[in-house]
Homo-oligomer: A and B are copies of this chain.
Amino acid sequence: MALGKDYAAQQCSIARALEVVGERWTLLVVRDAFYGVRRYNDFLVHLGIPRAVLATRLQALTEAGVLARRRYQESPPRDEYVLTDSGEALWPTLRSLGLWGREHIQGTLPMRLFVHAECGTELGVFGQCTACGNIAVPVEGIEMRPGAGLDPDPEDPVSRALLAPRRLLQPLDADRV
């Protein structure tokens, strides 16, 4: 079924949001950006999607102001993609989707735990730290840790780099060989 990507007749901010992030793979590209993935080839090996799809998604997310493109090398020219403030504001959506998948789809073990880096407590369903008076933990204060469901010996180098505990948004390329 060929369907467009907009929901023109829907007077609804959920529909507007889905026009930007509702296409296949888009939210997984954004997820990777939270994990610190910034470079085209890193997205490519970690997502395992066709190059054309990745290029289209990165372009659309940049045009929508969710990602910003930055030149990190001049010769040959290479760009990286970083979440904007608007992009970072998608964290509660991703967090709630991940928790829902883990709790409501049979056989889904926790792949990654998201904890308040300061105290090590896993974040609640609202992204709050229940041990610290239910404060909303900013994205920079969240540490990602491997969960019981995660393959401990993945094939691609990005997945391998993501096995170690790390802060969200910490650039991935900085800690790889």
Contact = CB atoms under 8 A, between A and B. Distances in A.
A138 interface: no
Interface of A: 1, 3, 5, 7, 9-18, 20-22, 24-25, 27-28, 31, 47-48, 50, 52-53, 64-65, 86, 89-90, 92-94, 96-105, 108, 110-112, 124-128, 133-134, 136, 149-151, 154, 159
Given A53-B3, A89-B104, A125-B92, A11 B151 contact: yes
A45 B86 CA distance: 33
Contact of A27 (B18, B124, B151): B18
30 contacts: A1-B52, A1-B53, A3-B53, A9-B48, A11-B111, A11-B150, A13-B98, A13-B99, A13-B110, A13-B149, A14-B28, A14-B31, A14-B98, A14-B101, A16-B102, A16-B108, A17-B98, A18-B27, A18-B28, A18-B101, A65-B104, A86-B104, A92-B92, A92-B125, A93-B100, A96-B96, A125-B136, A126-B126, A126-B134, A128-B128
Contacts of A151: 11
